[in-house]
Amino acid sequence: AQSVSQHNHHVILSEAASLELGCNYSYGGTVNLFWYVQYPGQHLQLLLKYFSGDPLVKGIKGFEAEFIKSKFSFNLRKPSVQWSDTAEYFCAVNPGLSGGYQKVTFGTGTKLQVIP
């Protein structure tokens, strides 16, 4: 069964600082990778996703993530954070199997607090 690890549970940054949130997964086959974000008082929403092709994917609000297959990682980055990026970030994986049901597994989340 697949699993997802997010090692940073709580990150505090000042505005304009650079951000990198770690995500590692365990699954031997092809995977599809997601980052979801939950802003305070709002529902979880998709930030970006990787299925195939260019391992560097860009999402909304200036976020990007890089899939490194050899490291089983899909770290989230942003060059310069804003106060409005304060939220909880979840990495998720599902097996890249064709057809049928794929279970989506989430990490434990990273709370990001950006100080103005």
Interaction site with other proteins (CB under 8 A): 6, 9, 32, 34, 36, 42-46, 49, 51, 90, 92, 94-109
17 vs 22, which CB is nearer to other proteins? Answer: 22
CA atoms of 63 and 58, how far apart (whole Å): 6
19 vs 91, which CB is nearer to other proteins? Answer: 91
Which residues, 6 or more positions from 42, have their beta carbon under 8 angstroms from its beta carbon?
none
5 vs 86, which CB is nearer to other proteins? Answer: 5
Q: Are 46 and 36 in contact (CB under 8 A)?
A: yes
